[in-house]
């Protein structure tokens, strides 16, 4: 599930101003092996990223370009394995300019 701290409409921003131009993933709580990540867009075919490797706790991936000005991310599917004995890990999706 994708969560936002505040709606762009509540902030008074036009849609073209709040759409991300770059995306990255980060991990908290444990080391995680990212096997497959699917980025689902509303205006283009899905992006599938495979064999991203191991992200250490507190680490992040290299930022990836989002698809143009009208690309809205509708869902993210992540296939991963938590490494070590940690019971949980938090994988975050970051969108920014």
Q: Dump pLDDT digits (tens) for 64-95.
A: 887 766 667 888 899 999 999 999 999 998 88
Is 14 domain-assigned?
A: no
Is 5 domain-assigned?
A: no
Is 64 domain-assigned?
A: yes
Is 13 domain-assigned?
A: no
Is 15 domain-assigned?
A: no
Is 91 domain-assigned?
A: yes
Q: CB-side exposure of 79: number of CA atoms within 13 Å?
A: 8
Element (H, E) at 94: strand 90-96
Structural domain boundaries, residue 49: 20-96
Is 11 domain-assigned?
A: no
Is 10 domain-assigned?
A: no
The overall pTM is greater than 0.85: no
Q: How many domains does the chain fold into? A: 1
pLDDT number for residue 81: 92
């Amino acid at each position: 599930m994708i969560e936002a701290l505040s709606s762009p409409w509540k902030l008074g921003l036009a849609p073209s101003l709040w759409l991300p131009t770059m995306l990255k993933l980060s991990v908290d709580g444990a080391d995680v092996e990212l096997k497959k990540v699917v980025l689902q867009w509303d205006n283009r075919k899905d992006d599938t990223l495979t064999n991203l490797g191991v992200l250490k706790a507190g680490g992040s991936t290299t930022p990836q370009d989002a698809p143009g000005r009208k690309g809205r991310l509708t869902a993210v599917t992540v296939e991963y394995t938590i490494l070590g004995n940690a019971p949980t890990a938090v994988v975050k999706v970051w969108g920014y300019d």
